[in-house]
Amino acid sequence: MSVILTKSFNLFNQTNIISTTAKYLGQFLVTRSKQLNINYYQRAYFQTINYETNNRIAYITLNRPEVLNSIDGLMPKELSECVEKANNDSSVHVIVLSGAGKAFCSGYDLSYYAQNKNIQAVQDMPWDSMKDYTYMKQNTEYFMSLFRSFKPTICKIHGDALAGGSDIALCCDIILMANEAHIGYMPVRVWGCPTTAMWIYRLGIEKAKRMLLTGDKITGIEAEKLGLVLKSVPQEQLNNEVDKLAHRMSTIPINQLIMQKLMINQALENMGLRTTQMFATLFDGIARHSPEGIAFKNRSESVGWKTAVKERDAGTYDWTNVVPFDIKKEDNNQK
């Protein structure tokens, strides 16, 4: 009998050990699976953006460095999804937005939208203004997810934040910029209008006109002087300045951050922000479908977008008459 009991006891122990081992192995595999899923979601699910969190801060990084993080058809939606993910994460207090590589964001990908003959960035005439508005308004709302995020958003600009890239940056609550970086909305010269209209709310009437009636791009130093960004610092100090501000905010309870931001944002909403953006988005479509806008699209297709942009920004091309300006003739007339 004792032999039988001993064998039974040993069998029970072995079974128990196997069961316990299986239990912990199963828990490990489930945990590991969840970790892999999180890493996959954070790093691989988003094709144009990298998303990570660390120490109460969510880091959203535009991740198309090979084309200076230019905006394609997917990036605006993924940006909004990352903002939503950060807002749904109870461990996140602050969101920091930046760009990978040499620039923050160079704007919409003109090799795709302007130079490509197969892309209907300009519709065949007669064009449907509401179809255009519906598409562009969706992108405006994607960008504005940064402004309407419950949690504060900080934008870190290095390199360029141009055209649509400036739209994204200006939707953030606070911008810190490298002295050497540039920001501007050059498409106001031809083929665009800033759909978020945030220039007016950040700069006021006269300074907004100074920027949008010239299409100039300015350095971080001048952007700080104009009041467009909170602070401009040397490139080597930018990361540290952003980290200090983000970590300072991250020590505040989330509910306090939400309340203060909602209260401040409501002032802009009361000033008619949504109505202004409706007009701006409609005007963007009109700008691209005006005779001059179509001339720019055709020029981009024939000589390449880089040449067309150079002519646009230098003011050497007459988009109404579709010929280069005769600079010498104009100089003689002025004399």
Are the beta carbons of 62 and 69 closer than 8 angstroms? Answer: yes
Sorted by sequence, the CB contacts under 8 Å of residue 312 that are 6+ apart come out as 186, 189, 190, 191, 215, 296, 319
Query: Which stretches of the chain drop beneath a pLDDT of 70?
Result: 1-44, 118-121, 328-335
User: For residue 118, what pLDDT is reported?
Assistant: 64
> How many Cβ atoms are within 10 Å of 315's Cβ, its own excluded?
12
CA dihedral defined by 169, 73, 114, 161, rounded to 10 degrees? 10
Alpha-carbon distances, residue 178 vs 74, 199, 207, 224, 239 (angstroms): 27, 19, 21, 10, 9
Give the Cα separation of 186 and 306 in Å (integer). Answer: 13
Query: Cα angle at 245 between 239 and 251, to 5 degrees?
Result: 130
What DSSP character marks residue 57? E
User: For residue 17, what pLDDT is reported?
Assistant: 45
Q: Give the torsion sign (CA, 302, 305, 306, 309).
A: positive
User: For residue 334, what pLDDT is reported?
Assistant: 62
> How many Cβ atoms are within 10 Å of 318's Cβ, its own excluded?
14
Are the beta carbons of 297 and 122 closer than 8 angstroms? Answer: yes
Residue type, 178: A
What does the block give as tokens for 214? Answer: 């010239």
3-state helix, strand, coil in the chain (%, to 5): 60, 15, 25
**pTM of this structure:** 0.85
Domain at 46-329, CATH class: alpha beta
Return the exposure string of 164-201: e unless at least 16 CB atoms fall within 10 Å of the residue's CB, then b: bbbbbbbbbbbbbbbbebbbbbbbbbbbbbbbbbbbbb
Q: Where are the beta strands (DSSP E) in 11-93?
A: 49-54, 57-62
Which class for 240: exposed (0-12), middle (13-18), buried (19 or more C-beta within 10 A)?
exposed
Choose among 131, 31, 96, 110: nearest CA to 68: 110
Q: What is the pLDDT of residues 113-139, one digit of tens each?
A: 888 776 656 788 888 999 999 999 999
Give the Cα separation of 97 and 66 in Å (integer). Answer: 18
What does the block give as tokens for 268? Answer: 């802009």
Give the Cα separation of 199 and 175 in Å (integer). Answer: 13
- R_g of the chain computed on alpha carbons: 26
Choose among 143, 170, 155, 166: nearest CA to 80: 143
Where exactly are the structural domains of the chain?
46-329
